């Protein structure tokens, strides 16, 4: 028997390996963060991320869908995915890339998925952010 079937493959933990294998990919489109009281009126297929907060439900959604639904937002982001499969308990990756981006005056909002880290930067900074992340990997 190969062990429990409910265990997913674990990700990389070594910081040097994580950084050298980040492989940042710029996803198409523009995205916004907004807060709503419920998501019943929003097609689930368009919700990129969702987090329950005391004040409401924060969602990440494509800007064009937010505009169609007349949702309010104040930040338009580009979405970068790091293709390396990082472990959820890896230490230092978020600090490393957020510091590198900060050193270039780029703010970032980070969402950790099970397999990948997702970085949302201001759309005006997307090329500069990709350059910084690629330089880190080299």
Contact assessment for residue 49 and residue 110, using Cβ atoms and an 8 Å cutoff:
no
Residue 81 bridge partners (DSSP) = 25, 118
CATH superfamily of the domain spanning 15-137: VC0802-like (3.30.2130.10)
Using the structure block, give the residue that is written with the tokens 């709503």.
36
Predicted confidence (pLDDT) per residue in 50-95, tens digit: 999 999 999 999 999 999 999 999 999 999 999 999 988 888 999 9
Mean of the per-residue pLDDT values of the chain: 94
Residue ranges of domains in the chain: 15-137
Handedness of CA 26, 30, 32, 38 (dihedral sign): negative
pTM: 0.91
pLDDT at 17 over 80: yes
Q: What is the pLDDT of residue 2?
A: 57
Is 9 or 131 the better-scoring residue by pLDDT? 131
- For residue 3, what pLDDT is reported? 57
């Amino acid at each position: 028997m190969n062990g429990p079937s409910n265990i997913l493959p674990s990700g990389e933990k070594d910081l040097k390996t994580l950084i050298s294998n980040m492989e940042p990919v710029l996803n198409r489109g523009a995205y916004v963060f907004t807060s709503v009281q419920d998501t019943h009126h929003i097609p689930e297929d368009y919700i990129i991320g969702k987090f329950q907060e005391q004040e409401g439900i924060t969602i990440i959604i494509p800007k064009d869908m937010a505009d169609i639904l007349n949702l309010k937002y104040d930040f338009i982001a580009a979405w970068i995915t790091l293709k390396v499969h990082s472990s959820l308990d890896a230490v230092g990756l978020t600090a490393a890339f957020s510091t590198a981006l900060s050193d270039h005056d780029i703010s970032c909002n980070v969402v950790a998925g099970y397999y990948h880290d997702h970085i949302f930067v201001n759309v005006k900074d997307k090329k500069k952010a990709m350059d910084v992340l690629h330089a880190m990997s080299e």
